[in-house]
Chain A
Amino acid sequence: MVLLVVGVMTLLVAPVLGQLRSGFKGSGSKYPEYFELPLTGGSQTNRLRGMFFGNEWQHLSNKVFRVTAMRIEHYEMSGGTNLVAVAPECLFDADARVAWSTGRLDIVGMNGGIRIRGNRGFQARMTDSTLTISNRVRTVIQRELVRPITP
């Protein structure tokens, strides 16, 4: 009987909580993304592959948030950061782990070796670590990156 009452109460309260959650504002949240396979051996699982940072998070609908001061970091297996993407604001789907915007995106990769700036939108998919930058993109590559490695 008690369980039934609790169950009914939960069903009644859950939509109210859902409504309260809409428009919710938070700050300083981050979403991690891990390497799927223990590529570095049996003892090293759950290596961090990427991290999604945001300064202010505003819940819009379902699992979609409006995020300001977005920052995506992508890590190598060794732990070093090989990419940082920064945008003033974006939308983030926490379920699909996709961030997108129609605005600006700045990418600094390879320890400053590559700099990419797009002004007309982007889509970042955390699951497969893919960044698609929309039209009119400028990329600056340090010349040393395209020279052969000298031992």
Chain B
Amino acid sequence: MRTILLFLIALATAASFFAAEPRSAKPAATSKLIIDNKGGTDFEPSSGRIVFHDKVQVFESELYMECELLTVLQQTNTSGKTATGGSVTNLSFRPDVIIAETNLMLMAQGTTIIGDKAVYTTSNETVVVTGDLVVIERSNIVFFSTNFVFNRLTSSGYALGWTATEIEVSGGFSGTNALRPGFAPTRKLTVPGQPKSAAPK
């Protein structure tokens, strides 16, 4: 009886150990948006405006962004407001528009976007990236534009104005029987005074 009890305790301990391991191995998906900036930050709670200056970095579990100026705005016609101007709850500050400007770089879901300005509207989860040159790079496709609109809800986007696309084809289209560079004949190195078998490879 005692042996069975000890066995059960050992089994339970082992089970809890193995059950706990996957939880610790996989990092929990964070629901926080961390913003670091080297310059100052202006916070106006009454108007619902936060401005981050100088080397702004935004970290999130699925997103990384860099820019020089980040503005978080709450527009006046928010649906959470009451008729008297007050708000329903303490969470009335809900950013409506987030604007990232100057030296913008955005990385998310395997895609890198470089541009001058990005405007994110929370109501429709749409990002509009503009610039003299907007570069969107994903795996082996590089897409150039001046105005790109991306919808996070539908994960689809389109470009306005001129576009150019560059596709890097790995392996090549042309069939050839030529040997790969690694298979090219090489010259063996021999050191004088040493047997050939001892030559460095």
A interface residue numbers (CB < 8 A to B): 39-41, 49, 74, 76-83, 107, 109-111, 113-114, 116, 118, 128-149
B interface residue numbers (CB < 8 A to A): 30-46, 50, 52, 54, 60, 79-80, 82, 84-95, 98, 120, 122-125
Report yes or no: A146 in contact with B33, Cβ–Cβ below 8 A. Answer: yes
Given A82-B93, A139-B34; 7 other pairs, CB 8 A cutoff = A40-B86, A78-B88, A136-B37, A139-B35, A139-B50, A140-B32, A146-B98
Report yes or no: A114 in contact with B93, Cβ–Cβ below 8 A. Answer: yes
Shortest Cβ distance from residue B170 to the other chain A in the assembled complex, whole angstroms = 36
Chain A contacts for B124, CB-based, 8 A: 148
Chain B contacts for A111, CB-based, 8 A: 89-91
A79 to B120, CA, bound (A): 30
Report yes or no: A141 in contact with B80, Cβ–Cβ below 8 A. Answer: no
Residue in A129, A130, A132, A137 whose CB lies within 8 Å of B37: A137
Chain A contacts for B35, CB-based, 8 A: 137-141
Shortest Cβ distance from residue B137 to the other chain A in the assembled complex, whole angstroms = 25
Shortest Cβ distance from residue B49 to the other chain A in the assembled complex, whole angstroms = 9
A132 closest partner in B (C-beta)? B42
A11 to B122, CA, bound (A): 63
Residue in B39, B52, B80 whose CB lies within 8 Å of A139: B52
A16 to B93, CA, bound (A): 49
Chain B contacts for A134, CB-based, 8 A: 40
Report yes or no: B33 in contact with A135, Cβ–Cβ below 8 A. Answer: no
Chain B contacts for A147, CB-based, 8 A: 122, 125
Q: Given A148-B122, A149-B80 in contact, is the A138-B40 Cβ separation under 8 Å?
A: no
A39 to B86, CA, bound (A): 9
A49 to B31, CA, bound (A): 31
Shortest Cβ distance from residue B12 to the other chain A in the assembled complex, whole angstroms = 37
Residue in A80, A133, A146 whose CB lies within 8 Å of B40: A133
Shortest Cβ distance from residue B48 to the other chain A in the assembled complex, whole angstroms = 9
Q: Given A109-B93, A137-B52, A145-B91 in contact, is the A40-B41 Cβ separation under 8 Å?
A: no
Report yes or no: A137 in contact with B41, Cβ–Cβ below 8 A. Answer: yes
Chain B contacts for A80, CB-based, 8 A: 87, 89-90, 92
Chain A contacts for B84, CB-based, 8 A: 39-41, 77
B121 closest partner in A (C-beta)? A148
Q: Given A129-B45, A146-B95 in contact, is the A135-B32 Cβ separation under 8 Å?
A: no
Report yes or no: A74 in contact with B91, Cβ–Cβ below 8 A. Answer: no
6 A–B contacts from the bound complex (CB under 8 Å)? A116-B43, A139-B35, A141-B34, A145-B94, A146-B95, A148-B123
Shortest Cβ distance from residue A109 to the other chain B in the assembled complex, whole angstroms = 6
Q: Given A133-B40, A136-B38 in contact, is the A81-B94 Cβ separation under 8 Å?
A: no
